[in-house]
Amino acid sequence: MASELASILNTLGLTDDPRISLDRLEPGAGFVLCENPTTGEAMARVRLDDADAYERAASEAHAAFLRWRTVPAPVRGQVVRAIGDELRVHRDALGRLVSLEVGKSLPEGIGEVQETVDIADFAVGLSRQLYGLTMPSERAMHAMREQWLPLGAIGVITAFNFPNAVWGWNAMLAAVCGDSVLWKPSLLAPLTAIATNTICQRVASRMGHEGVFGLVIGEDQVVGERMIADKRFPLISATGSCRMGRHVGGVVAQRLGRCLLELGGNNALIVERDADLDLALKSVVFGAIGTAGQRCTTTRRLYLHESIADEFCERLVRAYASVKVGDPLAKGVLCGPLVSAAAVEGFESAVAAAKSQGGEVLAGGSRAEASELTPPGLGGHFVRPTIVRAPASGELPIAREETFAPILYVFTFKTLEEAIAKQNDADQGLSSAIFTESARSAERFLDPSGAGSDCGLAYVNLGTSGAEIGGAFGGEKDTGGGRESGSDSWKAYMRRQTCSVNFSGELRLAQGIELDL
């Protein structure tokens, strides 16, 4: 694995990056060890930034914004176009790095980088569509319009599970909007962040735009707390746990800044009696097991109509038995490792709680033995993908908690109204799905009055994972309410200004007020 990492870094032009060491892998102050979750061994050491380094990075991000905002938006789009082209060149190498560092299967790792390429393409078109409005004034010979202006330097805090794409969703849109970006990545995935940011800033610098994309790698107390309290960052976009989001939101609110929060998800999938069970089965398996259950959009709760529940569970157990667990770089492996030993402990704790609450383990439920893996003998953080069927009472309190692991809790229902109510009975509101052949059931799930799914993402005959960049991504309730990627999400990275022009030569006040002087 060490030679694999060295080869990837060489391909990406990072062999001489002073922040990365492949030789000295002992713990030390001012460094973080990057562990390969597939082997459980350290594979690199990355230098951490201190308070002084943060101050330099923040100052440069602000200075870069003052320069970058004066560049015409279509020209900014051309820079983003060049970045997208460069990411295409390095897509597979970056995808392998993602898989190596966080344990995501290789197709998922490459697909994640493709998301950043896609959002770059999206942003290029957007650079010519940052439209304002013109509206009639109530005053004669007056004009009114709204325009959107660059916001500032944007602080982006990302989680380990999407170490490339989530930054891309924010950075590509922010860039065409005229903002600079300072990125604080998870300490579980600093290598992907260094590689991604280096590639993008290398392109921007070559085109004459230094400092548009900055990176600061440090501990929360040293770097993170400074960033979220720093008024130089009018917007903090943070992806992570609900607990983290509450803290970030509170600190930013104290300084009257803006937050874009993408937090946890406890996503449910409903299978109606008339569903295409073959289609539903494949979607459930990928949704529950992909990324080893470590997506915010992972399928965690499954609601089956009572008439098909037993049959579907039997098919699901057989499908789980065929899933390959092991090296995410190996062909055919769907389920790689969990990201850390602590994540494995969280998995075991959740399974134990489910059992104590009357849940029946239908598949998995324990760590994976080395002999079961592909290839055998790996020493990383592997667990068996797990299915837990709720007791007849339907009460399984652990299912209300988001465990970042491949655990699927299965419930039954009698009516669609009951299923929707149970789906919505969660603190989070990110992703949801229904499988049905009935147009009436599908439209009931998407009820435009808001009485259907209460999530930010609602799918019919699709699983809960796999959002496209063309639609705004995000959720409600404890998920934080943020929206990234498509639609009008670009407005989060800009400020709106209402402009009124009097060309009458006389003072005319609004609301018919007259001034007699």
Residues with catalytic annotation?
262, 296
Q: Identify whether the C-beta of residue 346 lies closer than 8 Å to the C-beta of residue 249.
A: no
Amino acid at 27: P
Which 8-state DSSP code applies to residue 365? -
The strand pairing partners of 271, in sequence order, are 304, 435
Structural Rg of the chain based on CA atoms: 25
CB 380 within 8 A of CB 36: yes
CA-wise closest residue to 176 among 239, 233, 120, 104 = 120
Report the alpha-carbon distance of residue 175 to residue 77 in Å, rounded. Answer: 8
What is the length of the chain? 517
Q: Based on the number of CB atoms within 10 Å of its own CB, is 142 exposed (0-12), middle (13-18) or buried (19 or more)?
A: middle
**Cα end-to-end span (Å), the chain:** 83
Q: Partners of 147 in the beta sheet?
A: 497
Alpha-carbon distance of 101 to 186, in angstroms, equals 11
Task: For residue 403, count other CB atoms closer than 10 A to its CB.
Answer: 23
Order of strands, sheet of 142-150, starting from the edge strand that comes earlier in the sequence: 133-135, 142-150, 494-502
Select from 211, 161, 164 the least CA-distant residue to 12: 164
The CA-based dihedral angle spanning residues 324, 295, 297, 456, taken in that order and rounded to the nearest 10 degrees:
-160
Query: What is the distance between the alpha carbons of residues 331 and 203, in angstroms, rounded to a whole number?
Result: 33
DSSP 498: E
